[in-house]
Amino acid sequence: MKTFKIYSLLIAIISISLFSCDVIEEPFMVVQEVVSDSCEAFIFSPVETYTKKVLLEDYTGQTCGNCPRAAEKAHELQEQYGEQLVVIAVHAGWFSNTSDEYPNDFTTEVGNAWNTHFGNSLAGNPNGMIDRVGYPNSYILQYSQWGEEIAEQIQIEPLVGIQIAATYNTSSKLICIDTQSEILYDLEGNLNITVVLIESGIISKQTDYSVDPEQYVDDYEQNHVLRKGLTNAWGESLGQETYLQSELFTHRYSIEKQADWDINNMSVIAFVSNPATYEVLQVEELHIID
């Protein structure tokens, strides 16, 4: 797949194409592209009001016998909060190891990097993080603690808004993705955007200590499974140290669907975070096929 990367500041382009002495009004746009030339750019409509959305990372594994309880809690919380709660199931650590009994490999480079840095599997799965709040102290939470932290974070006024657009070409198997991040308040410090793919409805064997006497389920449904990072684990910088209200940042990506992915069950997740603290400021999810 042909890819290329372009960094262009449209304010500069507009200035040159018009008159260098003219004042250009906001919003400004920064475009970053890592995208096949087969993908067409999306046009995003203005959003009047953004809702705060919260990221739940559920660290799990196919041989983790208590992890189905955490998945049930994540489902319960999504039923409660709807689209305001975005879930990623991160398979990492020794509970995710493959074997003849458990041949499916759900690990990813991105998930392994997160797990190594944050130490979730070492803390004992199942556990998770809510917007990565509290790092480096009390940030790894048991699933019984998720609800309280989500309730708190969901009340916070969003500092950034995110939109996602995506298409899938059935002939070329190419997924094209654009994201647009809007700065909602003047902000200081760097910001990163991370973009990943997840898949739900995957049927596989799962250890489950609630099942007697087998203690496993052959046809367990794995949901929100992290499949691939379109950025590196820590995302791409938006490229500034100072951000002004109404600035817009567009990022473009493309990837060929892998053979074992079911595109009908896949979503794009994008989140903007503070790389100094790792805290997630805003997250958005879009199902690729409506």
Tens digits of residue pLDDT in 146-159: 999 999 999 999 99
Task: Report the C-alpha gap between 211 and 213 in whole angstroms.
Answer: 6
State CA 79 to chain mean position distance: 19
Please give the Cα distance from 126 to 142 (Å, whole number). Answer: 7
Q: Which residues pair with 165 in a beta bridge?
A: 178
The one-letter code for the residue type at 85 is L
Residue-level pLDDT at 290: 85
Compute the half-sphere exposure of residue 246: CA atoms within 13 Å on the CB side of its CA.
6
CB atoms within 10 A of CB 150: 21
Three-state DSSP state, 11: helix
* C-beta separation of 92 from 114 below 8 A: yes
- At residue 213, the pLDDT reads 95
- In terms of Cβ atoms closer than 10 Å to its own Cβ (0-12, 13-18, 19+), residue 242 is exposed
* CA 124 and chain centroid, separation: 23
pTM of the model: 0.90
Whether residue 118 contacts residue 135, with contact meaning beta carbons closer than 8 Å, is answered with: yes
> What percentage of residues in the chain have a pLDDT greater than 70?
89
- 236: number of Cβ within 10 Å: 18
Q: Domain-by-domain residue ranges, the chain?
A: 5-287
Distances (CA, A) of 161 to 185, 198, 246, 272: 10, 21, 10, 9
Please, what is the average pLDDT of the chain?
A: 91
80-134 residue pLDDT tens: 999 999 999 999 999 999 999 999 999 999 999 999 999 999 999 999 999 999 9
Q: Decide: residue 205, CB within 10 A, 0-12 exposed, 13-18 middle, 19+ buried.
A: middle
pLDDT at 29: 56
Q: CA of 67: how far to CAs of 57, 62, 259, in Å? A: 13, 8, 27
Residues 23 and 29: their CA atoms lie apart, in Å, by: 15
**DSSP secondary structure letters along 88-123:** EEEE-SGGG---SS-------HHHHHHHHHH-HHHH
> Positive or negative, the Cα torsion across 51, 236, 168, 6?
positive
Neighbours of 14 (CB within 10 A): 14
DSSP 205: E
Residue range 5-287, CATH number: 2.60.40.10
pLDDT in tens, 17-49: 333 333 334 445 566 778 999 999 999 999 999
For the stretch 166-206, pLDDT in tens is 999 999 999 999 999 999 999 999 999 999 999 999 999 99
DSSP 231: S
